[in-house]
């Protein structure tokens, strides 16, 4: 019965009756899973849905195929199709986040949450592979774009913590993979962005510095090494500016002893520069 229905589905497919073929292929795979052509039916259902722009439905059909027909000769092709589909959905979201433009050419908009779910399945379907590493990196990239977006197009990652967690997971699970070095570099970048957003406590700046140091130790010679060193230098400037800001706050409030402590910290951590000169001049005025 399953094979007979598969032949009907194939005939509908060849006749260009896509909707009917999709329904028939689905019935073969759902109702006759042990029929010889059941795997092919599920795969073709996924392909037709993809061609129709029904991304989520197609992805789910590929997922069902991958879970049930691991020995099929179409397994690698299905995995590649699924990965390509998830990356395509993510790329549109990432570009939307960084540029404010939506470039995703899909029939139905896919949310950040749905895209992350797709990428997670791709990662888990091919553990410890470059496909898996790329999927996990893209999850981090997607959350980072969401965090950076001025439009806040989904508000999935309000404070950057999900991006950091995703990047750290990749470095922890697959430290030798191609995107791991970039992922650890991005941890430092997101932490710096947290500080720029107003989370200027010393712990955030210290964590950013620590992430860059870890990156330089683990991945010496990576293309972003010079940029990491430049950002670490800017972190020191941010730290000095913060100390000077606190000193001036206490100074204006009449709490001169507290102000002296922070002015002194500026001098201790710098040999020259605007902050250094301001702190030195004010300490002199205060009799220090």
pTM given for the model: 0.78
Position 276 scores a pLDDT of 81
Instruction: Between 89 and 75, name the one with better pLDDT.
Output: 75
* Runs of H (alpha helix) within the chain: 2-14, 18-31, 38-51, 55-68, 75-99, 112-125, 130-148, 161-173, 180-196, 202-218, 225-252, 256-268, 274-285
- Burial of residue 169 (number of CB atoms within 10 Å: 0-12, 13-18, 19+): middle
- In tens, the pLDDT along 11-62 reads 999 999 999 999 999 999 999 999 999 999 999 999 999 999 898 999 999 9
Q: How many CB atoms lie under 10 A from the CB of residue 286?
A: 13
- In tens, the pLDDT along 147-176 reads 887 555 456 677 889 999 999 999 999 999
Question: If pLDDT is split at 50, 70 and 90, which confidence band does 102 have?
Answer: very low
**What's the CA gap between 218 and 181, in Å, rounded?**
8
Contact assessment for residue 239 and residue 269, using Cβ atoms and an 8 Å cutoff:
yes
Q: 272: which DSSP letter?
A: S
- In tens, the pLDDT along 231-277 reads 998 887 777 777 788 888 888 888 888 888 888 887 887 778 888 88
């Amino acid at each position: 019965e399953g094979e007979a229905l598969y032949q009907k589905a194939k005939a509908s497919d060849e006749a260009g009756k896509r909707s009917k073929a999709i329904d028939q292929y689905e019935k073969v795979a759902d109702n006759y899973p042990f029929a010889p052509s059941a795997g092919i039916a599920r795969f073709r259902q996924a392909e037709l849905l993809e061609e129709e722009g029904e991304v989520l439905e197609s992805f789910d059909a590929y997922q069902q195929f991958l879970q049930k027909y691991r020995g099929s000769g179409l397994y690698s092709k299905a995995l590649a199709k699924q990965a390509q589909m998830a990356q395509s959905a993510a790329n549109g979201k990432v570009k939307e986040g960084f540029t404010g433009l939506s470039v995703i050419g899909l029939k139905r908009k896919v949310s950040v949450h749905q895209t992350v779910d797709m990428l997670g399945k791709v990662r888990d379907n091919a553990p410890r592979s470059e496909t898996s590493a790329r999927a996990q990196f893209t999850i981090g990239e997607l959350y980072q774009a969401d965090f950076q977006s001025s439009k806040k197009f989904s508000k999935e990652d309000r404070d950057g913590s999900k991006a950091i967690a995703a990047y750290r997971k990749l470095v922890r699970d697959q430290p030798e993979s191609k995107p791991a070095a970039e992922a650890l570099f991005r941890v430092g970048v997101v932490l710096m962005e947290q500080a720029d957003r107003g989370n200027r406590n010393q712990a955030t700046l210290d964590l950013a510095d620590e992430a860059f140091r870890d990156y330089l130790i683990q991945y010496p010679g990576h293309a972003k090494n010079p940029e990491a060193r430049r950002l670490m230098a800017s972190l020191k400037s941010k730290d000095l500016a913060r100390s000077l800001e606190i000193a001036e706050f206490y100074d204006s409030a009449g709490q001169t002893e507290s102000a002296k402590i922070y002015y002194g910290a500026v001098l201790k951590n710098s040999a020259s520069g605007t902050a250094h000169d301001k702190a030195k001049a004010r300490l002199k005025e205060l009799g220090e």
